[in-house]
């Protein structure tokens, strides 16, 4: 049970940092930050594994950076699709 709470908190932190970097923190709430952070951790882990061949695991600074990187990628993709919808 405590692991789930830690993953949610870790995802929230990564999502919040990414939303601050990407400038859409006001658009995302706490739930959005959690979802983006957790999804970003998967995306970042996939990207790092594809580029380096190494897995990233655990609760450490490298894992946080990878999760933030993945969350930034996710937010950028979402923004790209939102801009296309605005032009239609």
Contact 37, 71 (CB under 8 A): yes
Q: What is the pLDDT of residue 7?
A: 82
Task: Estimate to the nearest angstrom the gap between the alpha carbon of 57 and the chain centroid.
Answer: 15
pLDDT tens series, the chain, 88 aa: 777 888 888 888 999 999 999 988 777 788 888 899 999 988 988 998 999 988 877 788 888 899 999 999 999 998 888 876 666 5
Give the burial class of 38: count Cβ atoms within 10 A of its Cβ; 0-12 exposed, 13-18 middle, 19 or more buried. buried
CA dist 60 to 57, 64, 66, Å?
A: 8, 6, 10
Q: Is the Cα dihedral 16, 22, 23, 28 positive or negative?
A: negative
pTM of the model: 0.84
- Please give the pLDDT value at position 85: 61
């Amino acid at each position: 049970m405590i692991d789930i709470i830690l993953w949610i908190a870790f995802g929230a932190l990564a999502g919040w940092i990414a939303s601050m970097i990407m400038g859409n923190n006001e658009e995302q709430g706490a739930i959005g930050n959690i979802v983006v952070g957790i999804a970003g951790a998967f995306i970042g882990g996939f990207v790092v594994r594809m580029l380096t061949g190494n897995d990233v695991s655990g609760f450490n600074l490298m894992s946080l950076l990878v999760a933030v990187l993945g969350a930034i990628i996710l937010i950028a993709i979402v923004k790209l699709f939102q801009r296309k919808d605005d032009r239609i």
